[in-house]
């Protein structure tokens, strides 16, 4: 089902993207604040702070299948709006961790509970957005929907981190968490009168069968995510370790290139095919990672960060178009949920594993691993293209 005329389609997608942006700020605002808040407690160090942050990703991965089934069975609108409500509930629960009457162990348990709810909300919101958007815009614009979804999420990260810290200094942890509850409520209001997408009937398949049909684009996406996560975790430390100036510019260069390519090239997977765009993107990402690995100067390292951002930008929508292509409409939400779980797993595992590697062989080695993984993703995608021909 398509909405017409085209201008109406664009307006609807813009409103859904804005609603997702507002909701995803609940994730982005809290991300830099929680480690600062938890490590201020007596006896609570980096490990417990990191667990409080990372446990949300665990619940996101676990709930991807259920989010996809909900989007397929009851529609993306219901799924996304339940996810936004989950963000609101998570913010209110986490705000309870700021109550001074609670002992620190109980505060921590309340915080972890809120983070678990947040992870489920994230899964429902993103999968619902994809199902709702693709259902309304049509199969032929699936790549555009995925590109705009990514822009909303990473735009929220870019704005949310400094904004969250500013609110924390002004209004404390409780103020941040209440803001994390208010913003998704605005997203709910913004999406209130957007029509639901059609629900398709068809025979359900076990989740593992669906993963078996999408494992190749999923594995390629996961391998691509290693370079993304490695850069996000270690580039600032890499610059500082080598006594290079402008350590903070690495993430700025990466993020700027990522968003710019999404804006300029978001239509390409729909127009020229997802596999072609993925192959070109993975080649650029691998080049950027290898350049970071062997960069003799900060300037070339920043060029590597730019190339990595350019390469990473379009892999998700490009390979996602292939998932949409091979899956019937009534299984699309479940398939996209499983597809995203490959990336979630890569993001969650890369930090600790490459951290162990960096402790033994230095920070440059993590970018070598990122380059190798991007190369393997390129070869896997090339194999997909060869099989199709």
Indicate the residue among 161, 194, 227 that finishes a domain. 194
Are 114 and 245 within 8 A, CB to CB? no
Asked whether residue 155 falls in the same domain as residue 76, the answer is yes
Asked whether residue 72 falls in the same domain as residue 94, the answer is yes
Residue 61 inside a domain? The answer is yes
Asked whether residue 17 falls in the same domain as residue 166, the answer is yes
Residue 201 inside a domain? The answer is no
pLDDT of the residue at 4: 45
Asked whether residue 383 falls in the same domain as residue 323, the answer is yes
Indicate the residue among 194, 226, 245 that finishes a domain. 194
Residue 61 CB neighbours (<10 A): 19
Q: What is the pLDDT of residues 308-327, one digit of tens each?
A: 989 998 998 899 888 888 88
Asked whether residue 218 falls in the same domain as residue 135, the answer is no
Residue 147 inside a domain? The answer is yes
Count of domains forming the chain: 2
Residue 202 inside a domain? The answer is no
Asked whether residue 115 falls in the same domain as residue 218, the answer is no
Residue 199 inside a domain? The answer is no
pLDDT of the residue at 280: 94
Residue 200 inside a domain? The answer is no
Helix axis angle for 207-241 and 298-313, nearest 10°, is 160
Asked whether residue 41 falls in the same domain as residue 132, the answer is yes
Asked whether residue 62 falls in the same domain as residue 154, the answer is yes
Asked whether residue 248 falls in the same domain as residue 186, the answer is no
260: containing domain: 207-388
CA 128 – CA 19 distance, rounded (Å) = 12
Indicate the residue among 142, 173, 194 that finishes a domain. 194
Asked whether residue 55 falls in the same domain as residue 129, the answer is yes
Phi and psi dihedrals of 248, rounded to 5? -75, -15
pLDDT of the residue at 389: 62
Segment-wise mean pLDDT, segments of 10 residues, the chain, 389 residues: 54 91 90 81 77 81 86 89 96 94 93 94 92 84 83 79 85 94 95 84 72 87 87 75 78 81 85 90 96 92 92 90 81 79 77 74 88 95 81
The enclosing domain of 125 has a CATH number of: 1.20.1250.20
Asked whether residue 140 falls in the same domain as residue 237, the answer is no
Asked whether residue 183 falls in the same domain as residue 326, the answer is no
């Amino acid at each position: 089902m398509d909405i017409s005329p085209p201008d109406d389609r664009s307006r609807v997608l813009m409103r859904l993207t804005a609603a997702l942006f507002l909701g995803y700020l609940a994730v982005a605002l809290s991300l830099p604040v929680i480690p600062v808040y938890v490590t201020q407690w007596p006896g609570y160090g980096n490990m417990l702070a990191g667990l409080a942050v990372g446990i949300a990703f665990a619940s996101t991965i676990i709930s991807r299948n259920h989010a996809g089934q909900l989007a397929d069975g009851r529609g993306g609108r219901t799924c996304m709006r339940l996810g936004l409500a989950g963000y609101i509930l998570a913010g209110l629960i986490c705000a309870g961790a700021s109550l001074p009457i609670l002992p620190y162990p109980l505060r921590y348990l309340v915080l972890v509970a809120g983070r678990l709810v947040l992870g489920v909300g994230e899964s429902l919101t993103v999968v619902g957005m994809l199902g709702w958007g693709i259902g309304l815009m049509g199969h032929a614009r699936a790549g555009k929907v995925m590109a705009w979804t990514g822009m909303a999420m990473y735009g929220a990260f870019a704005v949310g981190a400094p904004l969250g810290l500013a609110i924390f200094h002004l209004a404390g942890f409780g103020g941040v968490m209440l803001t994390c509850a208010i913003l998704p409520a605005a997203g709910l209001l913004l999406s209130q009168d957007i029509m639901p997408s059609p629900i398709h009937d068809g025979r359900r398949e076990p989740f593992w069968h669906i993963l078996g049909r999408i494992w190749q684009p999923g594995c390629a996406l996961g391998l691509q995510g290693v370079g993304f996560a490695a850069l996000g975790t270690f580039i600032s430390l890499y610059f500082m370790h080598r006594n290079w100036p402008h350590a903070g510019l690495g993430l700025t260069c990466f993020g700027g290139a990522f968003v710019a390519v999404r804006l300029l090239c978001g239509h390409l997977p729909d127009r020229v095919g997802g596999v072609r765009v993925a192959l070109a993107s993975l080649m650029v990402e691998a080049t950027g990672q290898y350049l970071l690995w062997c960069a003799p100067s900060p300037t070339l390292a920043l060029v590597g960060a730019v190339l990595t951002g350019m390469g990473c930008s379009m892999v998700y929508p490009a390979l996602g178009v292939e998932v949409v292509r091979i899956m019937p409409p009534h299984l699309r939400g479940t398939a996209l949920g499983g597809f995203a779980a490959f990336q979630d797993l890569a993001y969650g595992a890369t930090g600790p594993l490459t951290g162990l590697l960096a402790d033994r062989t230095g920070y440059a080695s993590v970018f070598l691993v990122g380059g190798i993984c991007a190369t393997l993703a390129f070869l896997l995608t090339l194999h997909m293209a060869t099989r199709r021909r």
